[in-house]
Structure 1
Amino acid sequence: MEIDAGNLFDIGFRIGDGISIPDDLFMSDGPWGYDDAPDTMLVHTYEVNPNEEPFHEDEFAVERNIELVGSTNAYMAAYRALTPKFSPINFTEYQSLKLKAKGTGKLIIRLVKESVTDWGSQYKTTIPLTNNLQDYSIPFSNFTSINGTDFIPNDITSIVFTMLAETGEVETKEMTIQHLRFSTTSSQSEDPLNTLVVSPNPMKSSTTFHFTSQRLETVEVLVYNQLGSLVKTITHEATLGANEIKLNRGTISSGLYFCKVQSDTKLYKITKLIIE
């Protein structure tokens, strides 16, 4: 039996024959909410509405839109849990966060990682809002942390949207977030030449990175573990066309790793590497 739940927040139903004990099933999506911690924050409007725009098959849809209006002399924040219990989701197959938004002033967006326990070290970016709805496509590379490591989207639990009272006085802040989704494309150009291939994969003692460069430039191959810690950096003078970089295992432990080419001119997809 298949039931199309559409964009419902939750659904529950019972299956039985009227004689035996029935089976109950309840399903729920992650909730929207807002942070009312600041003592001086006064919420004027808080609405969660269905999303009416279609999503593409290769997108991870974050259902429902939000409108939040409040007065504060500190900050106003809204959040969207990606699962009911804030369980992490691996988004390494995606490239960007896309949304439509409008409001007053700057909007700080945090992609909250379960493995980052210090709130100040969470990865964030800032976009300017206007009074008119605008489309935003934010590559994952735009999300930065004070710890200086690149963002690896392997354990995202929620998205937090924050607006600050920049003057220190009570200000009215407004944010409208619509058509929120994770995408396999980004605002930066992507094509088949922007693929990083690792062979052999899985590897034992060594492997080789293969990628194509369209210009002479200095690039870095960065290898991260599942906690987002950088474990290996290889600097390479890329030549026009096909390039190869050898990685020797050395003291790197067995496990799953994430590899990327850091370039000033191109966006390469993050590639998984298994070390046996």
Structure 2
Amino acid sequence: YDYLTVYKSLLPGTLSADYSEYNYVAFTAKGSGLMELGLLKSSIEDWTAQYKVMVDLSEEEQTYYVPFDVFTSSATQEKLTAEDLTMLTFTFLPVEANTTELDLEISDVKFTKIANEDQIIEKIETFENEFMAYPNPSKGNVNLLLFSETDTEATVTLSDVTGKVIYKGKTQLNAGKNELEYNFKVKTGVMLLQVTSPETDYGTSKIIFR
């Protein structure tokens, strides 16, 4: 599997509830890597348009307070309103090739009105202008999770270890989180995937194709 998602319904079935009086989602966790926290609204039918935020987990157990106003939707610039929430989702993204075990604990999930200032999650900054490629190894399908500081047009290049270009294409990036999908027809072996724009080199990822 490329990722693992844990779902927590707030009420039985798909009933919605009004959490407008609260300001934060709080939980205690320990693990490693990126987690995407989602707050699902009954008024949004498109899964990709639901409100989400990335959290960089620590290997040491700690409590996280995530403000409602750092959640963003790919379909609108409007802030999250919590009058019709149905579900919480925790999606864990792979951070290491050939990893089959997930060592992660989450507990004490709740909505709160106030937070410990030292434990408030801000909109993720540490992954600006970087990207993750998964699954790795891949059978040809590659997903890119990329954070960009600016709106820009980027070039995605796939090349083999000798430098021969296998694929080269343009893509439009938005400031913030970008999710890109590719299905490469390539031979088995190690390939290098690079993303660059006139302003930024987002880096190079080594991908094993099977």
The TM-score, its normalising length taken from structure 2, stands at 0.51
- The 5 A counterparts of 1:1-276 are 72=1, 74-147=2-75, 148-166=77-95, 169-186=98-115
> Take 2:48 and 2:104, find their aligned partners in 1: how far apart are those partners?
22
In the alignment, structure 1 segments of 5+ residues that lack a partner are: 1-71, 190-276
> Take 1:186 and 1:153, find their aligned partners in 2: how far apart are those partners?
17
> Take 1:150 and 1:186, find their aligned partners in 2: how far apart are those partners?
19
Q: What SS is found at the alignment partner of 1:172? A: coil
- 2:127 counterpart residue number: none
The residue type paired with residue 158 of structure 1 is M
Q: Give RMSD over aligned pairs.
A: 2.0
8 A contact 2:20–2:81 mirrored in 1: yes
The residue type paired with residue 118 of structure 1 is D
> Take 2:99 and 2:117, find their aligned partners in 1: how far apart are those partners?
38
Q: CA deviation at 1:126?
A: 1.3
More moved, 159-168 vs 95-104? 159-168
Q: CA deviation at 1:169?
A: 4.6
Change (3 A) 1:175 1:185: same
Q: CA deviation at 1:173?
A: 2.5
The residue type paired with residue 144 of structure 1 is T
Q: What SS is found at the alignment partner of 1:174? A: coil
More moved, 165-174 vs 128-137? 165-174
Q: What SS is found at the alignment partner of 2:104? A: strand
* Number of positions where the alignment pairs a residue of Structure 1 with one of Structure 2: 117
Larger radius of gyration: 1
Change (3 A) 1:163 1:178: same
The residue type paired with residue 173 of structure 1 is L
The residue type paired with residue 86 of structure 1 is T
> Take 2:97 and 2:42, find their aligned partners in 1: how far apart are those partners?
31
In the alignment, structure 2 segments of 5+ residues that lack a partner are: 119-210
Change (3 A) 1:165 1:124: same
Greater relative CO (CA pairs within 8 A, separation 6+): 2
Q: What SS is found at the alignment partner of 1:141? A: helix
Identity of aligned residues (%): 28
